[in-house]
Amino acid sequence: MNREDILTKVTNAFSSVLEHTNFELTNETTAEDVDGWESITHMMIITEIEKTFNIKFKLMDLMNMDSVGDLLNTIESELLIN
């Protein structure tokens, strides 16, 4: 799966949790930039992404995840391990 495919699936996960598509995700996007992306929904998004890609994030990865770019990197490396 290339980074673009991952981004598409991640975008779908965001819109299904946040119930809107009023955003464009790039490497630099953070919670500040997306309406409704905060503590509770973040957890729901993480769960949704774990289901979509059939992966399980580690706490160490999640604690250093500050942007969508970090998120994509982590998904890529998790997929490599699998």
Partner 1 sequence: MRFIKNIQNSIENNSNYNALCINNTHFTYKDFEIEVKKIRYAIVNTIEASEKLIGLVTNDDIQTYASIIALWLEGKAYVPVNPDTPLDRNYHIFELTKTKHVIDSTKESIYKDYKVINSSALQDLYPDLNPKDFSGDNLAYILFTSGTTGVPKGVPITFNNVEALVDAIDAESEFNLNNKDRCLQMFELTFDFSVVTYLFPLLAGSCMYTIPKGTMKYFYIFKLIKEKKLTVLTMVPSIINYLRPYFPEINEPSVRYCSFGGGALHSDIAKEWSDCLPNCKIFNYYGPTEFTVYSGFYPYQKETHTKAYNGIIAIGTPQKNTLYLIVNENNEEVPIGETGELCLGGPQITPGYWENEERNKQSFFIRNEHGKKIRYYKTGDLCIKDKDHDFLYVGRADFQVKIRGYRVELSEIEFHAKTKSEKKINMVALDVYNELGNAELGLAIESDAFDTNDIFEYMKTKMPSYMIPMHVRFIKEFPHSINGKIDRKELKKHFDIN
Q: Which residue among 26, 66, 76, 77 contacts partner 1 (CB under 8 A)? A: 66
Residue with smaller CB distance to partner 1, 7 or 61: 61
Task: Return the closest-CA partner of residue 20 out of 46, 51, 5, 41.
Answer: 41
Q: Is 65 in the site for partner 1 (CB under 8 A)?
A: yes
Residue 35, phi then psi, degrees to nearest 5 = -60, 125
Binding partner 1 by CB under 8 A: which of 4, 5, 22, 60?
Answer: 60
d(CA 5, CA 12) in angstroms, rounded, equals 11
Among 22, 58, 80, 82, binds partner 1 (CB under 8 A): 58
